[in-house]
Structure formats: structure tokens, C-alpha cells
Structure 1
Amino acid sequence: MSLTEISADVVVVGAGLGGIAAAIAAADRGASVVLTEEHPWIGGQLTSQAVPPDEHPWIEQFGANERYRRLREGIRDVYRRSYPLRPEAKAWPELNPGAGWVSKLCHEPRVALAVLEEMLAPWRSSGRIRLLERVRPTAAGVDGDVVTSVTLTSVLGDGARVTVSAAYVVDATETGELLPLTGTEYVTGFESAAETGEPSAPAQAQPDNVQALSVCYVVEHADGDHTIERPERYDFWSSYRPAAWNGANLLSWTAPSPRTLEMDTRTFTPNPGDDALAVRADQSKDPGDGGNLWTFRRVAAASLFEPGHYSSDICLVNWPSIDYFLAPVLDVEPEEAERRIADARQLSLSMLYWMQTEAPREDGGTGFPGLRLRPDVMGSSDGLAQAVYHRESRRIRAVTTVTENDVSYAVRGDRGATRYEDSVGVGMYRIDLHPSTGGDTYIDVPSTPFEIPLGALLPRRMTNLIAANKNIGTTHITNGCYRVHPVEWNIGEAAGHLAAYCLARSRTPHEVQERPDVLTDFQHELIATGAQLRWPEGAHPY
């Protein structure tokens, strides 16, 4: 077993959207950065997990940082420069390559990967950012309230390890993996109403009650029979009837409506011949999942491209039927967590097999044997996403914890969300909680456009660890609106800039948050980089 030791000003663990944003921000501010990633692709939600961006309705005009806008426009630019778009599609200012209803920018994950790689390239070439690939954190050095180093182990089974020493440690992992390794205080699952005062919280804390995770994949519809081998757990999953499904099978076109909880039967028609240019995705007006599931998360609409480029649309499967909520994977023995994730993969494959063999069709027949996995689109050998889509993480016991009472439209109304003097970014999304491991159904609560307080990125005790993903100081409930793509990017960008600012100014993160003069100076720097810290007056979609 080989062990390498390196050092940097900042180590960013996890190269999802928050991690990449943090690394770029820190490097741009002058810090040397080590960025690490476990999976073959950087990009997290947007790439290895294959989830198109969940965004608010004004994303094209305001409510996002400048660097996030560059990412979005970079994706469109790749399609315009390199893909054979029809002239009408190329001229579409708000080009949506997949014409999916879930997002104004549905696209293939590999295109986002290319843009993120391009955004990192100058910093990697200069040596300011060093990317360590295919490693995961397995240990940490701690001296009192300071994290001194992080040890990462190769996931390739070769026994290689590297220990990174750094002045600042940014946890941008999908599940807050550094928190138990460093002894940082954190919470999982549902907090109690007595602790948070939230109207949607239970009377007693439920630490094992965590949102469903999903293993996504894409399919096309082709000639011939592409039915996969019957999954090992198909008998279980094909007969599983969750309580929230009111007697319906999980593997079906039927599921509770997130907003009404009434049972809703969707349709499924591959390549429906719809007018892709007419799609205007806006979940504040139409959640988009009540109609044809094929177009809900479609990532390539064949009709937007020259005839013959795509033989079929490409449809992302990320639906209620693949939500895995039998048991949590946080803070269980590694072998048990692996078993549960393997079961989630079996669920995803079982849904595909059900669609290929048993799913009712609108013509009265059953099964769509022409559905075919696209491993090349996923960058995987089996056609499933490289990484699990975790909706919920361990969350730090933070200086500031955002609760439902801070963002719920039912609570806040026209007053808007709580205003934070230490805001370092903005976000907007409904409080969207999927069924959970405690047996709960959806919680879907309208929210107001909100701010990201710097105090939510800071643990109460640890002095040099900064949260930069879904592990910030939210509750189980407010995680449901702070977990989406542009918010994660804004959190990460603030975290990376903060680390570099503290190094350059000989300040501590807590000092920046507590001292008005230092905070104002830091916020001015963020604004100068293109960060948006406040919403314009009157911005709400209800």
C-alpha cells in the first residue's frame, strides 16, 4: 500500500457542483487547491448522477451567480457549435436540448461534463487546482477544533492513499462524509418540532428518517427486443406496495401527486411527436410530471436536431417508481450501506424490466421491449448512473440553521423569506421532499425566494471546516429547497471564496461571519465576482 503526502492552502473534498464552484472561487482568489472526486466524472448531480438542473422560474434573468450562468450558457454553446441543431432550435435563445418539462435546460450529462472540465482547465494547467480522481475520504487528522489533514483512498482497489494537509477543508461531498471522520457535530433525518418549531416536523426527532435516494438511467426506444435479463430482486420490487401508494404497486405509472397526495396515473408514450420548440418549462406553473413521463425528464429531443442524428429521443428515468426508501444508507455499517445501494440499483433495473415486459400501453398492449439502455450516455458499463442521487446528507450543527419558518410561503407570505445580514447567495425552489425511509409520503410546500446565510456553512465548533453541499445548516425540511443545482453552486462558490479570503486576510470564518466590517468587505468581494446576495423586490411566483 502506497501513501503520498501533499499540501495545499485548501482541500475541497467532492467535485460535484459545490466542490467545483468552491475550487474555482478559491483558486481565483489566489489559493492553491486540491480537489478530489470519487466517481469517473466530476459534476455530481449534473453528470455522474445524471439529473438535469432543478431551477427556479427566473433563472434566465436573475437569481444565479455569474459563474453558474457561464455553466448554463456553456452547455447551450456546445450544442450550438457541435451538434446538428435545426436552424429554429439553434436560434432559440433559451435552447432546451431535451425539451423536458422538469427544467429549462435538459441535456445529456456528458455535455455538462465537458463544460465543467473546460471551466477547470485553466486552473489545472496553472497548477492552482490539482484534481485527485477516483479517491474517497477515509480518515482525517484533527487537532482540537482544527482539521489538519484528510486522507483519501483509491476506489480502484490498488491500495493507494494520499494525505492532504491544508489550512482550510471544504466538505463538498454528497453526504457530508467528512463530518463523522472529523468529529464535527451533525444531524441526520427529521429534527423534532420542539427543536425547530417547524409546522411540518414530527413531535419526536427521527434521525433515520431520510429522503429517498435514486439510481437514474436513460433509455431510448429502438427497433427490436432489448429486454434486459430479469433482475434478481424483480419478484420483490414488482409486488412492493408502499403505504403512501394506497395499494398501488411501486412499479407502475401510478404514484401520489407530490402537491395533492392524491393518486395520479401518468402516461408513457415514447417519441410522442410533440412540438419540442413549444416547451416552456416552469414548475411554478406546471410541475410537468402529470402527463407523459417520456417528456418529463427527456434529455435529448430528436426533433430539435437534423433528421437522422438521433434515432430516438433520450429519456431520463428519475421518477417516483425508482425512489428507494426501504432503509437509510447514512451512518450504517459500510457493508450494509453497499447492500442497500445494490438494492436500489435492483429497483431501477426492475422498473426498466417492468416497462419492457409488463407496463400497460395506451394501445391496450403491454410492454415496451424497444426500450434500450444507453451506457455510453451514462459513462457506465451497465447503463445506470455512475453515482447515486442522494437527496439528503448529514448536516452540520451550524452557527445558523434555516428552518421551514424562514422560507415557507404559508408562514412568511408577502414578507418574503428571512433576510440574513450575512447572506452569501440566493436560491429558490419549492420545499420538495420525496418519500422517506420513515414511511412518510411527499412534503411539498411553496417557498419564497430565499437567501443563503454564511452561518449555515459554518459548524458551531470546528474552525476551519466549511460545508459546501447539502451538508449545510438546513433542517430535513428546508434541505428540500436548498439541495438543488444552482443553490449548491452558490453555496460552494461562497465556501471556496471564504477559505481563500480568510487565508489572505488572516481572518477566521467565524470572525468573517460575526464582525460587520469584515463581513461587508467579504460580501463586496463576492458581489465583484458576480455573486447575487439579494433578491429584487417583489420576486415570488405565487
Structure 2
Amino acid sequence: MNLSRRAFLTQTALAAPLVVAASACVGARRLSRSSDAELSADLVIIGGGLGGCAAALAAARLGLRVIMTEETDWIGGQLTQQAVPPDENAWIETIGGTASYRALREAVRAHYRQHTPLTAAARANARLNPGNGWVSRLCAEPRVWLTVLETQLAPFVATGQLRILRQHRAVAADVDGDTVRAVLVQHALSGDRIALRAPHFADATELGELLPLTRTEYVTGAESQAQTGEPHAKASPEPDNVQGFTLCFAMDHRPGESHVIDRPAEYAYWRDLTLDPPSGEPRTRVLSFDDAGSRRLGFDPVRRTGFWSYRRIIDRTHFVPGTYDSDVTIVNWGQNDYSFGSLIEVSPMEAATHVARAKQLSLSLLYWLQTEVPRPDGGAGWPGLRLRRDIMGTDDGFAMYPYIRESRRIAAEFTVCEQHVTVEARQRETARPRAELTAAPFADSVGIGHYSMDLHLTTRGDRGQYGDTLPFQIPLGALIPRRMENLLPACKNLGVTHLTNGCYRLHPIEWNIGESVGALVAFCQAQRTTARAVRNSPAQLAAFQALLSRDGVPLAWPSPLPR
């Protein structure tokens, strides 16, 4: 398969850290070569996704000097380089997220009002949804999210308080007992290396890549019931059983034109592949709308319905006639979820193979939609579907980075389990009626979130696990490793299980995690204390929670919740 230059860099960036994971921790005197540069800050954040950006903003607002790295050209993670419109809760417009996350969302709306030719009706809509996608109340272009994020960070970059190292990945770490002294990062193109030194580090990588580099204890895959006590956990641990990832792409539709791509090399394989269904259900092909849910939704770019509008990021009717000839939609569906291998704990070659095959799956889905998908009029295929190569900032039209649903997770002081958050488990635990149920309260809360316990197809073939959850909190204990003293998780790598990762992995929750981590580091440096001591001291915990509250981080859901 021919890969664009940037796509190849994406693959190598994913794989390379695995090479050094087993032997990355070397002595401080041997970490850097004499030719390596060194930089220092109050906080080093490895990973420029949503959690990393939120941590950088919070820490910089509180006066810290921050260095943040990013493996690709784009910061922003799920919203930008992975091209995933935000999965959010029902209260996100008012109370369902931090003040800074809501400000990010409103800045995106303001960007469209100020810089695009909206219709009068769209411009006047206080809750403008540029794409009218129904996965989210705010579906917008990845580049717009990127522009807004960079604008928010720009004042701190301009003063030198924040430095962003793009196209850099972590390759080694200097660890002294329970303390990280430095992390060595390498530029993807030049190979130049920089040793980053700080009193505090945050792992905001999509796969928790700093954990093996620093020998921080962590968990992967599915735990057993004996380990977690979760009703739906496995009988035995399955560390290789993780949710699939997706190579997203954007497309529009040009009726009367043909934009059919070359037949993908693996098309016949993916077209004919079927999956083992849940008990009692018929087998379904991967490239199909055969299952009941997909059949009900359908796909029609002319009527603009079903999967076409699901993750749509441009609704052409919101803009002055003539601005767009077509809607633009993101393809991140069950049909192109890649669950046939993991990017965690595999060799670089195997990781690169899985990324390449995931791209073949997505290409095959596009080709099938263009040529074979049954149409409502009895025909087959929509040849006018066009891969929008300009949307993603890449040569081949695919997202810069795979959409990662599951990461390595720290072995934490406290782990959030199914029995803390699901309706079913809480009813069993409390014997209360549904109307009186709440998630387990956490006295050390540093934020809130809500989403169903949503697990996509996994590498062992588990399909469509959904658990109804109650609005929950983010406990500080889930952000503190059991042993390491100055390394904190700032992404999907907090203390959750395989199951609860399914409801803690979403955009506003990841942002809240990063924001609380950035504030926590600033608090610890100001008070000359540690994260562990903050959690264990009632006075320090109260002071830190007061800081979060002042900065617009809600610590609990109101009761009753607004309708």
C-alpha cells in the first residue's frame, strides 16, 4: 500500500515508543548525549491532545512555565488530528462541563459567526451546530477546533510561558526511584533530541506511552471480576482485549460526478468479512448496514439522512447559498472500527501493520459506498461521494492519527469501577428506585462527567457493550499513581477499568481531567506539597477543590438535575 509521507510518520510515531519501553529508564548522566539539547519547565506535558491542551492552559493561567509535546502537526487530539466531533452529555451547554471547556465550544461558534458566510438564521442561533450532526450539539471542522485551541494558547506561547514541540515523541526517561527527572523526546523528521526536565510530568499521550517509559505501574485490556468486583467484568483477565480504533476520513457528495477511488488492495477481504454476532443474531458483514440499528438509520447523501448526517461537520443549508455545494461528513462508524489488532504492547512492525490495515478498511468502506451499497431507488453505489483530502491536513485525506478509544491506564490510588457509575450496579448496591439513584459520591472529586458505558467492538470480539450510567464525578485518587510521585495522567490513562473507560474517555471528561491535573501541579508547587499529600490531607484537599471551583470546574452535579 502506498502511504503519504505524513501517514508514514503517523505510523512510525505510534510504533516507535514501543521499542524502548522495556529498557528506557537509564541513569541521569546517560540520558542525553552531549549533542542533545535540554529544556526545563515547571510542568512537562507529553501529548498535545485535549487533556494535554487543558492541562497546559490551566497550569499557564496559574503562572507555571509549561512545555507540551505533540507527535503530529496538530494539537487537539480527538477534536482535530483524529477528526472526532465531541461526544458529550445532555447538560453540556450549561452545567455539564468546566467553564473553560464551554468557552472552547463558544469560541468555535464565534469563529463561524465571524469568519464564515452563515445565513441570518444560523448566525442568530445561540446554539449553532455548523454541521447539524446528531452525534453532538457542536459538530465542526477539525481545522476550526485547531484554530480556536491555538488562539487560546497563543498568549502564553507569545510570552514564552508555554512552549509547544510539535512532531516530537518521547523515546526515553530518566527515573530516580519514584521520581521522573527528565523525558527525552525526538523530532520525527530531523531526529534531533531534547531532554525535558521538570519537577512534574503529565502523560497526555493517546496510548499512555509515558507509563512504560517511566516504569509506572499500569493496566491494559479487560480486568477480571476477582480484580474489580464488576458484575460484567471477565472471568479471567484479558490484557490484550481492548477497544478498536478508527482511521477517520471526511467526504462530501457531488451528484452527477464520479469520484470513485481505485479499488483498495484489500477490498475483497473486507467486503466479504463477517463477524460473529451476539448469541441468537445472524452474522453480519463488516461492510454493510445489515444489523438492525444500521438498517434503521440507513445512508442517503441526497436526502441527507441516516449515517450521512450522523457526524456531519458542514450542513450546507447553514451557509449562504453557493458557499458549499454539499454537506461534509466524517466517517467514524462501526463499519470502519478496526478491532483486528491493538497498538498497545506490540512491536513497531505490528503496530504499523494494524494502522495500514485500518486505513485499508476505511478505504474499502468508501469504495463500497461509492460502488456497491444498496440505494433507496434500487440502484447500487453513490459514485459522487468524494474523499475530502483538504479537511484533515494530510496528503491522503485520512486523519493524522487514529481515533484511540482505550489506553494504558495507571494502577491508581483509587480505580473507578462499574459499581460506582452504572444504573444497574447502583440499584443493586443501594436498593433505591431509579428516580433516587446517584453515582457513588467521591469526597475527593476534581470534576464531573456523564456518558454511557460505551464499548465498541474489541480485539477479542466483544460487541456493543452499553451500560446506562448516572452522572458521575472524577475522583482525585484516580489521577494519582500508586507509587510514582511526580507523574500524573492527563488523558484516558487515569484509574478506570476496561469497562468504565467506556464512559470516562469522552471529550469534555478528558478536558476536565487535563484541566484538573494542570491546576493540581500549580497548587502542589505553590504549597510545596505532592498530589498524594493533597488527597490525604483534608485541609489541602479542601483548598485545592476551592481553587478548582473558583476556576469554573464543577465538583458535583446539582440535585435535582435540570430537565
- Answering whether residue 367 of structure 2 is matched by residue 353 of structure 1, we say yes
Cα deviation 1:366-408 (Å, max 9, x = unaligned): 1111111111111111111111000000000000100000000
| 1:293 maps to amino acid | F
2:61 to 3, 16, 28: 28
Partner of 1:60: 93
Q: Does the 8 Å CA contact 2:225/2:234 hold for their aligned counterparts?
A: yes
> Which one is further off, 238-247 or 447-456?
238-247
Partner of 2:186: 153
- Answering whether residue 134 of structure 2 is matched by residue 101 of structure 1, we say yes
Cα deviation 1:109-166 (Å, max 9, x = unaligned): 111101000010001011111000101111111000001111111122x211111011
| 1:371 maps to amino acid | L
Partner of 1:479: 501
Q: Does the 8 Å CA contact 1:244/1:440 hold for their aligned counterparts?
A: no
- How do residues 271-310 of structure 1 correspond to structure 2 at under 5 angstroms? 271-272=302-303, 292-310=306-324
1:180 to 190, 212, 215: 212
Query: CA RMSD, aligned part only?
Result: 1.3
Cα distance between partner residues in 2 of 1:320 and 1:254: 12
Partner of 1:320: 334
- Answering whether residue 270 of structure 2 is matched by residue 237 of structure 1, we say yes
Alpha-carbon distance, 1:256 to partner: 6.1
Q: Does the 8 Å CA contact 2:90/2:96 hold for their aligned counterparts?
A: no
- Answering whether residue 394 of structure 2 is matched by residue 380 of structure 1, we say yes
Partner of 1:110: 143
Cα deviation 1:475-520 (Å, max 9, x = unaligned): 0000001000000000000001111111111001100011100000
Cα distance between partner residues in 1 of 2:82 and 2:302: 24
SS in 2 for 1:402: coil
> Which one is further off, 110-119 or 222-231?
222-231
Cα distance between partner residues in 2 of 1:215 and 1:272: 26
Partner of 1:285: none
SS in 1 for 2:300: coil
Alpha-carbon distance, 1:538 to partner: 2.4
Alpha-carbon distance, 1:255 to partner: 3.6
Partner of 1:503: 525
- Answering whether residue 489 of structure 2 is matched by residue 457 of structure 1, we say no
Partner of 2:422: 408
Partner of 1:518: 540
| 1:331 maps to amino acid | E
Q: TM-score, normalised by structure 2?
A: 0.90
Cα distance between partner residues in 1 of 2:310 and 2:283: 25
Q: Does the 8 Å CA contact 1:448/1:540 hold for their aligned counterparts?
A: no
SS in 1 for 2:173: strand
Cα deviation 1:67-87 (Å, max 9, x = unaligned): 101100000000111111110
2:378 to 352, 364, 376: 364
Partner of 2:244: 212
Q: Structure 1 residues 216, 256: closer, same or farther in 2, change over 3 A?
A: farther
Q: Does the 8 Å CA contact 2:48/2:68 hold for their aligned counterparts?
A: yes
Q: TM-score, normalised by structure 1?
A: 0.94
Cα distance between partner residues in 2 of 1:187 and 1:516: 29
Q: Does the 8 Å CA contact 2:97/2:448 hold for their aligned counterparts?
A: yes
| 1:502 maps to amino acid | C
Partner of 1:260: none
Cα distance between partner residues in 1 of 2:384 and 2:559: 50
Alpha-carbon distance, 1:426 to partner: 0.3
Partner of 2:462: 440
| 1:214 maps to amino acid | T
Cα distance between partner residues in 2 of 1:540 and 1:392: 31
- Answering whether residue 194 of structure 2 is matched by residue 162 of structure 1, we say yes
Partner of 1:278: none
Cα distance between partner residues in 2 of 1:77 and 1:272: 29
SS in 2 for 1:376: coil
Count of matched residue positions in the alignment of Structure 1 and Structure 2 = 518
SS in 2 for 1:189: coil
SS in 2 for 1:390: coil
Partner of 1:267: 298
Cα deviation 1:236-289 (Å, max 9, x = unaligned): 1111111138322101123464xxxxx74531111426xxxxxxxxxxxxxxxx
SS in 2 for 1:35: strand
SS in 1 for 2:558: coil
Give the % identical residues: 50
- Answering whether residue 423 of structure 2 is matched by residue 392 of structure 1, we say no
Q: Which runs of 5+ in 1 are unaligned?
A: 258-262, 274-290
SS in 1 for 2:154: helix
| 2:299 maps to amino acid | F
